[in-house]
Amino acid sequence: MLKTHGIVGLLISATLGLSGCMSNSYQAFIKPGASVDRTNQDQVACSVEANKLFPAANFPQTTPYGNVGYYGGGWGWGVGIVHTTDVNSGMRNQHRAQCMQLKGYKPVSFPICTQQQLAGRSYAPLTRAPAQSDNICAIKIDGGGRALVDITKPL
């Protein structure tokens, strides 16, 4: 759809990571007057700090499934599923959010733009933090991620 070098706010990983499904809102950090570049720089700084303080701590766990049965030469249990759990992810996400708030950002939820709102028109991503309004929503951008647009200002 649109290419951009950054987005007004970045996803709050904890919110999206826990949802596990398509969300109808976009979580961003907004600071009045902050540019996309400044917001991205602050987000990176907070993420680096959080990763240093709370590094990934993945622990493998096996969840057995199946029943006792005959498996190609002997009786036994079915195969298990191995997955990992990062026990520090919650603390990392919380630290990122607190770091951004200490830098003057406020977490804000914006709706995802509907097809009816877009009506086939193109929009330029906002380059400055917007005030929350019914005209602001998030679109998907090329390369992944989201950008905020003002639906009253099509290209």
Q: What is the pLDDT of residues 98-109, one digit of tens each?
A: 999 999 999 999
Q: Which residues pair with 60 in a beta bridge?
A: 84
Residue type, 69: G
The pLDDT of residue 72 is 57
The pLDDT of residue 61 is 75
Q: Where do the structural domains in the chain lie, given as residue ranges?
A: 13-64+83-150
- Is residue 2 within 8 A of residue 147, CB to CB? The reply is yes
Structure tokens at 23: 């969300």
Question: In sequence order, what E strands does 7-99 have?
Answer: 25-30, 58-64, 69-70, 75-76, 80-86
Per DSSP, the three-state class of 64 is: strand
> How do residues 6-20 score in pLDDT, each as one tens digit?
333 333 333 333 334
Angle at 101 between CA 95 and CA 102, to 5 degrees: 90
